[in-house]
Amino acid sequence: MVTYENYHIRGGTLIQIGIGEIECSELCMRNPYCLAFDYNKKHAQCWFHSGDSYCGNLQRIDGCTHYKRIPCVPGTRGWFLRTI
């Protein structure tokens, strides 16, 4: 899993508020549609990204960490995945 400290991607789905980072990660790992997630430490928010948002542009936001489970292929968006 690749981690981007102080970054997030817009377009995620808010899954839960008031949970920890480890819980957020575990929820994503159990969900086959969760290809990446953002965790906002300041607000204890867990945001999932599926095929339509996980390869979006990273945007800087303090206190948020973006985790990418599946790498993006440069120049593609959505369901275009690299086999790992």
Q: Which two three-digit tokens encode residue 33?
A: 């549609």
What confidence tens digit (pLDDT) does each residue in 21-64 have?
999 999 999 999 999 999 999 999 999 999 889 999 999 999 99
Q: Phi and psi at residue 17, in whole multiples of 5°?
A: -115, 145
Q: Is residue 13 predicted with pLDDT exceeding 60?
A: yes
Please, what is the Cα angle at 2 between 29 and 67, to 5 degrees?
Answer: 50
Nearest Cα neighbor of 8 from 18, 46, 34 is: 46
pTM for the complete prediction? 0.84
CA-CA distance, 78 to 52, in Å (whole number)? 5
User: What is residue 61's predicted lDDT score, i.e. its pLDDT?
Assistant: 96
Nearest Cα neighbor of 70 from 35, 28, 37 is: 35
The domains located in the chain, with CATH, are: 2-68 (3.50.4.10)
